[in-house]
Structure 1
């Protein structure tokens, strides 16, 4: 049986919502039982821990009035599924670590990073990063479509924002404000209208007062037009860019998997893929895989991959 200290630690970590500590202690209990020769109990405990790690996220249905601009999902993606440079990977891991150990931070009067701004060109991994964070933390992802959130009726958009922040307190999850430019544009812009200034002021106020356990992630393709006051409200700002040569090669290998050509000059392919985003490269790989499948082949050819990358460059005007 577990020791008294282990039982107390399990209870404490459960009520502190320290998932990582809870898992660590549970595995220590399993090891303790294994040393005593109780192999079946140890195996069962490890099985329960593994099941808890990878159990599907339960997404509670939202009221119908929110279904037009909030899309709930249950991400299964993990860090291994996304290609990032070393700095960006470190910063996402830091968000995950602080969330998992938020109870320890609270003891010192500190809070985990939970309000994140993602900025960069389209297709560079912003939405995927939010998806991975939700998947790693086993939390539901609620994507807020800000372009559909905004209405022409005075006060309605701010009222909807208030409701979203109320939901954050009730339903813990990752809330992604996609296409954030729709409400985050600088208040002094010449083409701005008074109503949008009020919407942005409301968002700033709600964000500052929010003390829920949810993560708030805003994604923008054009950070230069965002109001400067926004940057002070977020705990972290992450700037995304087009993939480097090393990232292009890693992305192609990850995406193609078993369909990877037997012979491929990765440097030459990376040169072709230069100026393409992560999403564009992934789509080119998918197109090549589809051609191989329909041709009853279990691998693509280097020629197919190069052709699909060139096609993407032409389609996007690169």
Structure 2
């Protein structure tokens, strides 16, 4: 039977109306029962979980506040949503998880810290290769803090006209003050490199300098997250503007096995070991491993198979690895 901690986690998720967390814990329970050889029980649990995931399920997540959508010119610069991703659903290194837990702890008690003349961590720089969880981290922090996630649209923010990009950036930072949320500046340092003319590069530099000034001067209660794939090329002045720098890496063997188990547990036959797939997944990012798992699940669905096969997962992991070599 499920461990006591899992049962308590299920009750906490239900009481808190956290559907995503409830599903995640339920999947762990089903997977554990399958490993113990309780195939019938595991199958029944999987069917119940799948039914709970359908849109027709009567229990829907209630919102305590409406989503504030940017308006006017700001609507072209920011997209807004309420994500539903929890920290326990992520597979992270111990160091990254510890840093995120610290951010959450300080943010949840930011008023208490303010009362003592202290500031909660809220300006974060996420550095690491693509697909390692940087963008997902922003969604997780927004979910855990029950805040909207605002993502800066650099296609609208960066223009070729002198001074216009900086003006738009100021508008975004004004929104930081008026509406508390998690604000994500994804790949903010590299987009300017894709532009061809010398004028465009100069405008990007001016905008980056303005970003440094604004983030240093900002005293809002919003969480600011800047994410980049190019940490080695960043100016040292950039790091000093942030409360914390969190570095992401490709998953190690233990994390790979956890990723495979989390994504495939609902569809794997009883007793299936994921350890044999680890060596083929080495070097792939978190997102590439998850996509390979989803491809294997698609195969099972289209072939009308009740469970995925190890050979199918292995095939898709090999394809992902080959595509990485050809890039």
Common fold by TM > 0.5:
yes
Shorter chain as normaliser: what TM range? 0.7 to 0.9
Q: Which residue of 1 aligns with 2:134?
A: 126
Q: 2:318 aligns with which of 281, 285, 310?
A: 310
Preserved CA contact (<8 Å) 1:119 1:126: yes
Q: Counterparts of 1:43-82 in structure 2 under 5 Å?
A: 50=16, 55-56=62-63, 58-82=66-90
Q: SS state of the match for residue 310, structure 1?
A: helix
Instruction: Work out the CA distance in 2 between the residues paired with 1:194 and 1:111.
Output: 34
2:108 paired with 1:87: no
Preserved CA contact (<8 Å) 1:263 1:302: no
Q: Which residue of 1 aligns with 2:122?
A: 114
Q: SS state of the match for residue 219, structure 1?
A: strand
> Over residues 8-43 of structure 1, what are the superposed CA-to-partner deviations in whole Å (9 max), with x where a residue is unaligned?
xxxxxxxxxxxxxxxxxxxxxxxxxxxxxxxxxxxx
Instruction: Work out the CA distance in 1 between the residues paired with 2:229 and 2:270.
Output: 37
1:192 Cα offset (Å): 8.3
Considering Cα pairs closer than 8 Å and 6+ residues apart, tell me whether 1 or 2 has the greater RCO.
Answer: 2
Instruction: Work out the CA distance in 2 between the residues paired with 1:59 and 1:316.
Output: 38
Q: 1:259 aligns with which of 244, 264, 267?
A: 267
2:224 paired with 1:216: yes
Unaligned runs of 5+ in 1: 1-45
Higher Cα Rg: structure 1 or 2? Answer: 1
Unaligned runs of 5+ in 2: 1-11, 20-60
Residues 69 and 314 of structure 1: CA distance in aligned 2, closer, same or farther (over 3 Å): farther
Number of matched residues? 269
Q: 1:272 aligns with which of 252, 264, 280?
A: 280
2:258 paired with 1:292: no
Preserved CA contact (<8 Å) 1:146 1:182: no
Preserved CA contact (<8 Å) 2:142 2:182: yes
1:200 Cα offset (Å): 1.7
TM-score after normalising by structure 1: 0.78
1:147 Cα offset (Å): 4.6
Residues 92 and 280 of structure 1: CA distance in aligned 2, closer, same or farther (over 3 Å): same
Residues 202 and 47 of structure 1: CA distance in aligned 2, closer, same or farther (over 3 Å): closer
Instruction: Work out the CA distance in 2 between the residues paired with 1:104 and 1:295.
Output: 56
